[in-house]
Amino acid sequence: MSSSITAGELALRLNLPLRGDSTRQIESAATLEDAGPLDVAFMGSPKLFDAGRQSKAGCLIALPDYLAASGQTVIDSPQPRAHFGQALSILYPGPALEPGIHSSAVIGHGAQIHPTAIIGPHVTVGAGACVGTNTILHPNVTVYHGVTIGERCIIHSGAVIGADGFGFEMVQGRYQKVPQVGTVRIGDDVEIGANTCIDRATLGVTVIGDGTKLDNMVHIAHNCRIGRHVVIAAQTGLAGGVEIGDYAIVGGQVGVGDKARIESKAVIGSGAGILTSKIVRAGEPVWGTPARPLRQYLAQLATLSRLSKRR
C-alpha cells in the first residue's frame, strides 16, 4: 500500500530542487506513459523529453535541463532513475519487519545470529554460521555450517549458501567425491536473489564482496572470488575459481569457465560465454560465445548476414 505525500515534501526528502506546484498531492508511482495526476514518474534520458511533455504525471523526476510543459511539476535530479528508486521507497515503505527468529526456523548449534537480524519462516542456519547486523533471511533460505554473512544483507527465498562445491575425481572408472571443507564469506550490503546458490570452497573461502548484487537463479561455484559492487543478472553460472573485479557488470545467462578472470569494471553482455582461464579486460563490453569485444562481435554478425544473402 502506498502513502500520500506532496511534491514539495517528496523533493525535500530527496534533497532535490522542485519546479512547479509544491502542494501537488502524490499517492503512487507509474511509468511515464501510464502516470496520472496523482503519480510520480521519471525520465532518465533526454530521448524521453518529448514523451515527458506529453505525460499526465502529477510530478516528474527529470534531468535539470528538461524544459517542462506548462503547468508541470518537476523535481530536478542528476540521476532520475536512482532518485525515482528512493521515491518508491518513500511511497511504498513495505511491511514493518521485526528483528528476531521465526518459530519455524532451524538454527544449528553455535550459530551466531545478531539480535537485529531477521530470520524468516523455515530458514535453516547451520552450526557455527554467523549472520550479521540488520541482515534479512527471507523464507526458506538455507545457510550451511560455518558460513559468514555480513551486515545489512538481503537474502531472498530459496537461496542456498554454502552447499558443497562440484568436486569429483575419476578413480577406477567411478567418480569419487572430493570433500569440500572450505566455507563462504558474504560481505556487507549484499543482496542475493531467489534460488541463487553459492557453493562453499573446496579449501579456503568462496567470497562475495561488499555491495555486490546477485539476481535470481545465479550459481557461484566453489572458490570463486567476487569483488565489491559487482552486478550479476539472472541465470548466470560461474564455474570454480572464477575471479571478478570490483564494479564489473555481468548480464543474464552468461556462462563463465573455470578460473576465468574478469577485470574490475568489465562489462559482459547477456548470453556470453567466457572460456576457461580467459581474462576479460575492462574498456569495451564483450559479447557472444566465445566472448569478444562488442565491435568485433557486431562486425562478425554483419559479415555472416552478407554471406547468407549471397546464397
pLDDT at 144: 98
User: Can you tell me the distance from the alpha carbon of 140 to that of 125, in angstroms, rounded to the nearest whole number?
Assistant: 10
| Confidence check: pLDDT of 25 > 90 | yes
Among this protein's residues, is 122 annotated catalytic?
no
pLDDT value at residue 113: 97
Residue 1 reports pLDDT greater than 70: no
> What percent helix, strand, coil does the chain show, rounded to 5?
15, 30, 55
Q: Rounded distance, CA 162 to CA 185, Å?
A: 9
Distance, in Å, from the CA atom of 220 to the CA atom of 185, rounded to the nearest integer, reads 12
**Average pLDDT in the chain:** 95
Q: Say yes or no to pLDDT of 308 above 90.
A: no
Between 270 and 300, residue with greater pLDDT = 270
Average pLDDT over residues 294-304: 82
Residue 21: pLDDT over 80: yes
Reduce the secondary structure of 114-161 to three states and give it as a string.
CCCCEECCCCEECCCCEECCCCEECCCCEECCCCEECCCCEECCCCEE
**Cα gap 237→220, rounded to integer Å:** 6
User: Per the residue annotation, which of 83, 138, 222, 229 is the catalytic one?
Assistant: 222
| Contact status, residue 224 vs residue 240, Cβ threshold 8 Å | yes
- pLDDT tens column, 92-118: 988 888 899 999 999 999 999 999 999
Angle at 59 between CA 58 and CA 60, to 5 degrees: 135
Distance CA 200, CA 161 (A): 8
In this predicted structure, the answer to whether residue 2 has a pLDDT above a threshold of 90 is no
How far apart are alpha carbons 72 and 21 in whole angstroms?
8
Check pLDDT > 80 for residue 234.
yes
Across the range 73-92, mean pLDDT stands at: 96
User: What domains are there in the chain, each with its CATH number?
Assistant: 5-91 (3.40.1390.10), 100-292 (2.160.10.10)
Going by pLDDT thresholds of 50, 70 and 90, the confidence category of residue 181 is: very high
The per-residue pLDDT for 310 is 67
- pLDDT at position 95 is 82
CB 117 within 8 A of CB 138: no
| Among candidate residues 180, 170, 171, 123, the one with its CA nearest the CA of residue 149 | 123
pLDDT number for residue 250: 98
pLDDT in tens, 112-162: 999 999 999 999 999 999 999 999 999 999 999 999 999 999 999 999 999
With cut-offs at 50, 70 and 90, classify the pLDDT of residue 300: confident
pTM, to two decimals: 0.90
**Per-residue pLDDT at 306:** 77
Q: Is 199 helix (H, G, I), strand (E, B) or coil?
A: strand
To which H or E segment does residue 252 belong? none
d(CA 286, CA 282): 9
Could you count the other beta carbons within 10 Å of the beta carbon of residue 67? 10
Q: Does the pLDDT value for residue 169 go beyond 70?
A: yes
Phi and psi at residue 35, to the nearest 5°: -65, 145
pLDDT at 58: 95
pLDDT score for 301: 79
Question: What's the pLDDT band for 299 if we cut at 50, 70, 90?
Answer: confident
| Tens-digit pLDDT profile for residues 257-281 | 999 999 999 999 999 999 999 999 9
DSSP letter for 47, please.
G
